[in-house]
Amino acid sequence: MGAEARVAELKLELPPAPKPVATYVTALRIGDLVYVSGHGPLKPDGTLIKGRLGQDMDLAAGAAAARQVGLAILSTLRATLGSLDTVTHLVKSLGLVNCTPEFADQPKVINGYSDLMKDVFGDAGVGTRSAVGTNSLPGGIAVEIEAIFQVKDA
C-alpha cells in the first residue's frame, strides 16, 4: 500500500501547505533528496499550536503538536512532489521542542511526529533523528521540525 492510500485509510486531515513567512522555500528538491524547512504545528484552520512543554503543555499535548507538524510536512511534500507515493525514505529529522529547562522528554514529544511518519510510510518512514529542547520558537509555537526525504520520480 502506498503512502497516499495510507493517508486515506488513516483518515488524516492535512492542513493547507504552509507558505514561507520569510526569505526561504518550504521544500527544495536536489537530485533524489527533498529538504523540508522547519515546520510548525499548523492546523487545518490555519492556526498554530502554541505553548511551552513543562509550563503550559504536558507530554501528550506536545506529542499531539509534533504529530500536527508531521501533517503539515506531509502537506508540503504532496504540494512539492504531487504525490506522497514518490517518497522512498525519510532520511533525517530534527525536532525542536519549546520547553522549560527542567523538561527532559523531548524525544517522547517528537515521537508524535515519528510515529506518524511510520504510519504513513511504513519502515521507510523511520529515519535518523535528533530531538532537542529550546527556550523559544517563532511565534511561541510548541514544536518545530525539519526533515530530509529521499524520493523517486513519479
Query: Which residues lie closer than 8 Å to 96 by C-beta, 6 or more apart?
Result: 38, 132, 133, 134, 137, 143, 144, 145
Which helix (H) or strand (E) segment holds residue 51: the answer is none
pLDDT in tens, 55-79: 999 999 999 999 999 999 999 999 9
Grid coordinates of 104: 527532559
Q: For 81, how many CA atoms within 13 A lie in the half-sphere containing its CB?
A: 29
* Confidence band for 137, pLDDT divided at 50, 70 and 90: very high
Q: Is 48 exposed, middle or buried (0-12, 13-18, 19+ CB in 10 A)?
A: buried
Specify the pTM. Answer: 0.97
Contact assessment for residue 113 and residue 67, using Cβ atoms and an 8 Å cutoff: yes
Q: Which of 16-25, 48-57, 114-123 has the lowest mean pLDDT?
A: 16-25
pLDDT in tens, 76-101: 999 999 999 999 999 999 999 999 99
- Is the dihedral angle over the CA atoms 108, 110, 112, 116 positive or is it negative? negative
Q: What letters, b where the CB count within 10 A reaches 16 and e where it falls short, cover 62-74?
A: bbbbbbbbbbbbb
Of the candidates 33, 38, 37, 15, the residue with the CA atom closest to the CA atom of residue 127: 33
In the chain, where are the structural domains located? 3-151
CATH homologous superfamily, domain 3-151: RutC-like (3.30.1330.40)
